[in-house]
């Protein structure tokens, strides 16, 4: 299990910026508030993976339940961030109630990480529901590829099940899936990248700075899918829009790519609805079309709409949004 602390260099899975017109760039401090520094890291991952392989799902969940209090104690910044977020979405709480909320928040985060290893190690099965699959087919039918825009909500790392047919043998994605992940300045990617590529039947595109890797544009040119996150700002290419009662910085990069390439943006989310059950939600494809002089305004409107959608999902699944840092900084 990893609980991330506050810093911006190692966060996984989002585009950090883009060229062209950039709406309302923020200061570096405001945009770069996360670095994904981990407690546990690779060793913790290996311990949980070994437990899954040796004992299965339920003993691993039990181990997780015993480990979470340790993280509640040592990950103080993450605990404070959890409280700040949950107070917004659930209302203020006293000390002991907020501590119980933090435990549940960390435990549900840990469950998603454990489920990731169960799925990719083929150590157990899950049931997947689908909503709006036909919207993916409609988006791809335009011949421009598609941008899957998600967030750190639910089991996003399991969403590659759509590529290898994890939801249904008849509903396998017809084109390759490319997942964009941020890589730290030291060049080390997340520990599970090799497992993700091998078992998820997808390609990981690594981002190391604020530029757009050529692989993203090339994949869209080939009509493929590129998956990005839209809820973590790692560069100055952001806009501040309302989110859970206060303005927060959201990245504009995915929308700039959509405007430049003509690829539709498809908001997708995978939320955990039971011990073995997930729901894959596909929302209406969005075409980013605007003259260059109006592009900044149009992109800001799309970012605000995405933030509103994420706000709705966070209210429905309050313990499944996993940005453990001061999002409103």
**CA distance between the termini of the chain:** 26
Q: What own/partner pairs with CB < 8 Å and gap ≥ 24 does 284-287 have? A: 284/132, 284/135, 285/135, 285/138, 285/139, 285/146, 286/258, 287/258, 287/262
Confidence of residue 247 (pLDDT cuts 50, 70, 90): very high
Q: Which two tokens stand for residue 51?
A: 């437990």
At 61-70, the pLDDT tens digits run: 999 999 999 9
Confidence of residue 45 (pLDDT cuts 50, 70, 90): confident
pTM value?
A: 0.84
Nearest to 64 by CA among 277, 275, 323: 275
Helix (H, G, I), strand (E, B) or coil at 183: coil
Contacts for 187 with CB less than 8 Å, ≥ 6 apart: 208
Query: Mean pLDDT for the chain?
Result: 81
| CA 177, chain centre distance (Å) | 15
Cβ contact 277:127 at 8 Å: yes
* Of 320 and 20, more confident: 320
């Amino acid at each position: 299990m990893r609980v991330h602390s506050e810093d911006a260099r190692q966060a996984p899975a989002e585009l950090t910026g883009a060229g062209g017109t950039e709406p309302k760039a923020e200061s570096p401090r405001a945009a770069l508030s996360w670095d994904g520094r981990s407690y546990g890291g690779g060793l913790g991952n290996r311990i949980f993976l070994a437990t899954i392989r040796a004992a299965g799902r339920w003993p691993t969940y039990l181990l997780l339940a015993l480990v979470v209090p340790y993280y509640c104690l040592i990950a103080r910044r993450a605990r404070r961030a959890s409280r700040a977020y949950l107070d917004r979405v659930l209302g203020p709480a006293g000390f002991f109630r907020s501590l119980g909320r933090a435990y549940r928040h960390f435990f549900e985060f840990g469950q998603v990480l454990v489920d990731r290893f169960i799925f990719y190690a083929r150590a157990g099965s899950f049931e997947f529901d689908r909503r709006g699959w036909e919207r993916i087919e409609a988006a791809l039918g335009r011949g421009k590829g598609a941008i899957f825009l998600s967030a750190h909500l639910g089991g996003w790392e399991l969403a590659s099940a759509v590529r290898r047919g994890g939801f249904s043998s008849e509903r396998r994605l017809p084109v390759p899936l490319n997942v964009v992940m941020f890589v730290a300045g030291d060049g080390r990617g997340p520990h599970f990248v090799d497992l993700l590529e091998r078992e998820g039947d997808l390609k990981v595109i690594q981002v190391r700075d604020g530029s757009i890797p050529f692989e993203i544009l090339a994949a869209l040119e080939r009509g493929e899918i590129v998956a990005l996150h839209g809820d973590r700002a790692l560069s100055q290419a952001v806009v501040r829009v309302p989110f859970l009662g206060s303005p927060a910085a959201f990245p504009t990069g995915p929308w700039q790519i959509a405007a430049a390439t003509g690829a539709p943006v498809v908001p997708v989310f995978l939320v955990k609805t039971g011990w073995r059950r997930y729901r894959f939600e596909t929302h209406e494809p969005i075409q980013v079309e605007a003259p260059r002089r109006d592009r900044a305004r149009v992109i800001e409107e799309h970012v605000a709409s995405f933030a509103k959608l994420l706000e709705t999902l966070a209210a429905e699944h309050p313990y499944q949004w996993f940005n453990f840092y001061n999002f409103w900084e």
